[in-house]
Amino acid sequence: MVVAMARPRPASDDTIRRRPKDRKAQIARASAEAFSALGFHGVSMEAIASRVGISAAALYRHYVGKYELFRDAVLSLGQQLEDCTQFADDATLEDPQEVLHRLVASLIDTAMANRESGGLYRWEGRYLRGDDQATLIAQMRSVHHRIQRPLRSLRPELTPRQCWTLSTAVLSVVGSIVDHRAKLPAIQVRALLAELSDTVLAAELPNPRDDADVETVEADSSPATETSRYEALLDESMRLFNLNGYRDTGMEDIAAAVGMPASGIYRYFSGKSDILAAAFRRAADRLSADTSAITATIDDPEDALTAVIDAYVARSFDNPELESVYYSERLNMSVSDQKILRNMQRSTVEAWVELVVAVRPEWTPGQARFAVHASMSLVIDLGRLMRYERSTHSLTTVKRLLDLTLLGHYRLRATLPAK
């Protein structure tokens, strides 16, 4: 007798493991968040695969390597900014004010949707190569032009330089939310960013001048001491980290810039990471000291806030490498050093928040906190646009935009006689 063998039952739809239709989108989001959180050099294909819940081998079926993942993540963010502003190219749109409002709203929505990864194109885009770098530049130029067109219609007196200043300012304000983790209800974030964007777009900027008024500082010609050697190591390290990147700067490069053997650096620092942390702690200490000294000696909150703004802008333009290196290289510090620095910065931000709330009682501390971060972002982005030229015109422009962001109006400053 032949016994019939039972045939295996076909698997139901519930038991078949199907590849999600949005797998590519999942990989793109996971890689963007990973690169934003850990930096280009701190991410591996295995780490991204783990975030998505697949094997590294499966990830390699989609991408040949880490750079391709990185490139797509960065350019995808740029493309989202292009896509969300594309409507502004419609020639039938007649009301430039309405176009600007819609542009700002679209940019805010995009920034909020990408808050975990939006800083990627700002701080890690330098790792793009050749045509990829050109593509990102073209994407951002397109967004700037879409903001500038209705702005010029509303304000025909603006020069091209002023238009670039204001389009940079509004993108900086909107993009500032990707650089911090302060919290507010989404509806409040949208309203505040829209308010600040309208304020900077309406700013009356100082008249353009030539660059003959660039301020210069005489180099200190005093003999080298232990203290000045320590300071020189910090200064030269930051300059080289900014110029070449942390990973591509060796201890020998730093030593050569200071004029000492590489072995001599270890009298002061245990390694590159220690130099990086020391430079940031020094900058945070000085900023904290500035703020404490001002609030201790100036009773009027508006006067104190104005003085804080002036001190912050001056320090940023005196040491332009610090801002760029902080956002692009801070992940190379140890976790403990990162935590120490965050606590120091948080203390300074809260001191600013107290002043802002005293000057703007209509704002809650949460709203003031977002405004403070927006103002700090403005200094970075406008400084980069201006190449940190220490001209009266550049410094006045940045201070005026910070005044408007934090005080709500422009505050005249007394002109001090030359010493």
CA distance 30 to 24: 10
Q: What's the rounded Cα separation, in Å, for the pair 32 and 122?
A: 12
- pLDDT, one tens digit per residue, over 372-400 is 999 999 999 999 999 999 999 999 999 99
pTM: 0.86
pLDDT at 406: 98
Mean pLDDT over 82-98 rounds to 93
Q: What does residue 195 show for φ and ψ, rounded to 5 degrees?
A: -60, -50
* Residue bearing tokens 């032949």: 2
Sign of CA dihedral 228, 231, 236, 237: positive
Euclidean distance between CA atoms 1 and 121, whole angstroms: 73
Amino acid (one-letter) located at 10: P
Whether the CA torsion 196, 200, 204, 210 is positive or negative: it is: positive
Domain boundaries of the chain, sorted by first residue: 23-154
- Residues 136, 76: Cα–Cα separation, whole Å: 9
In sequence order, the 6+-apart residues with CB closer than 8 A to the CB of 34 are: 43, 47, 48, 51
How big is the chain by its Cα radius of gyration, in Å?
25
Q: What's the rounded mean pLDDT across residues 39-63?
A: 90
Q: How far is CA 301 from CA 221, 296, 352, in A?
A: 39, 11, 10
234-246 per-position pLDDT tens digit: 999 999 998 888 8
**pLDDT beyond 90 at 131:** yes
pLDDT of residue 219: 37
Predicted local distance difference test score (pLDDT) of residue 150: 97
The share of the chain scoring above pLDDT 70, in percent, equals 89
* Statement: residue 41 has pLDDT above 90: no
Q: What is the pLDDT of residues 206-224, one digit of tens each?
A: 987 644 444 443 334 343 4
For residue 214, the SS3 value is strand
pLDDT at 290: 94
Q: What is the DSSP string of 254-320?
A: HHHHHTS-HHHHTTT-SSHHHHHHHHHHHHHHHHHHHHHHHHHH--SHHHHHHHHHHHHHHHHHHSH
> For 157-175, b where at least 16 C-beta lie within 10 A, e where not — what string?
ebeeebbbbbbbbbbbbbb
Burial (CB count within 10 angstroms: exposed 0-12, middle 13-18, buried 19+), residue 111: buried
Between CA 220 and CA 411, with CA 324 as vertex, the angle to 5 degrees is 80
Higher-confidence position of 39 and 393: 393
The CATH class for the domain spanning 23-154 reads mainly alpha
In this structure, are residues 295 and 253 in contact, taking their beta carbons and an 8 Å threshold?
no
Q: Looking at residue 20, what is its pLDDT? A: 65
Residue from 121, 102, 86, 120 nearest 170 by CA: 102
Note the pLDDT tens digit of each residue in 312-329: 999 999 988 887 788 778
Please report the pLDDT score of residue 298 as a whole number.
97
Interval 256-296: pLDDT, tens: 999 999 999 999 999 999 999 999 998 899 999 999 999 99
